[in-house]
Structure 1
Amino acid sequence: MTAEEMTNRALQHLDKHLRAYEASLNQTIADIESDYDQGYLDVTEAQWQDIIVLAGGIVQANTRMIHEASECVRTDGEVSGSLLNLLELANHFATLDFSMKPSIKQEAF
């Protein structure tokens, strides 16, 4: 397998995972909106702002923004349900390793 083929395979693998994260983020945001509309989610205005910043941090892949907004959401009130799912998704996304070296090494074997 050539280096170009290995790189393309690794990029396809990464793209697949990023699409899954995108779908999960979109569903989680829809769940948060639905929970709020149905009265299951009681958030403060500050939490809404932090939720928006957190979603933006995920979209921008801004680790610092993700960590700061996550902490703010947690300190402004109790977190559960779909909001907790968003925080878990944010935490997982913030710890992703975008290094291609491990993926390429695995594909070689």
Structure 2
Amino acid sequence: MRVEEMTNRYLQRLDERLRAYETALNQTVADIERDYDSGFLNVTEAQWQDIAVLVENIAQANTRMIHEASESVRADGEVSGSLLNLLELAKHFATLDFSEAPLIKQEAKA
């Protein structure tokens, strides 16, 4: 298998993963808004600001700020439901490995 083919396969898989994460993130944000509007989610003004910062930094793939904002959201109280889902997604975004080497090596073995 040529390097170009391996790279293209890797990029296709990465694109699929990122689209799935994007869909999950969009749904989670919608769930948070719905839960808040329905009165199921009780957050402070500070937590709302931290949530906004967290989502923004996920979109920008700013790992350091994802960690900081996640900790800030947790610091202001107990989290559960859709907010907990957001924090789990944030963890996934913060730990995505964008390096090609591991997957290209795996493709070469296939």
TM surpasses 0.5: yes
Alignment length (residue pairs) = 109
Q: CA deviation at 1:15?
A: 0.3
The letter for the 1-side match of 2:47 is Q
Identity of paired residues, percent? 77
Q: CA deviation at 1:78?
A: 1.2
| Equivalent residue number for residue 24 of structure 1 | 24
Q: CA deviation at 1:49?
A: 0.3
Unmatched segments (≥5 aa) in structure 2: none
Alignment partner of 1:64 is 2:70: no
The letter for the 1-side match of 2:51 is I
- Return structure 1 stretches of 4+ with deviation > 6 angstroms: none
In 1, the alpha carbon distance for the partners of 2:54 and 2:37 equals 20
SS in 2 for 1:87: helix
SS in 2 for 1:32: helix
Q: CA deviation at 1:106?
A: 0.8
Q: CA deviation at 1:101?
A: 0.6
Matches within 5 A, 1:1-109: 1-109=1-109
Q: CA deviation at 1:95?
A: 1.0
Tell me the TM-score normalized by structure 1. 0.98
Q: Alignment RMSD, CA only?
A: 0.6
Q: CA deviation at 1:92?
A: 1.5
Deviations 1:71-90 (Å, cap 9, x if unpaired)? 00000111110000000110
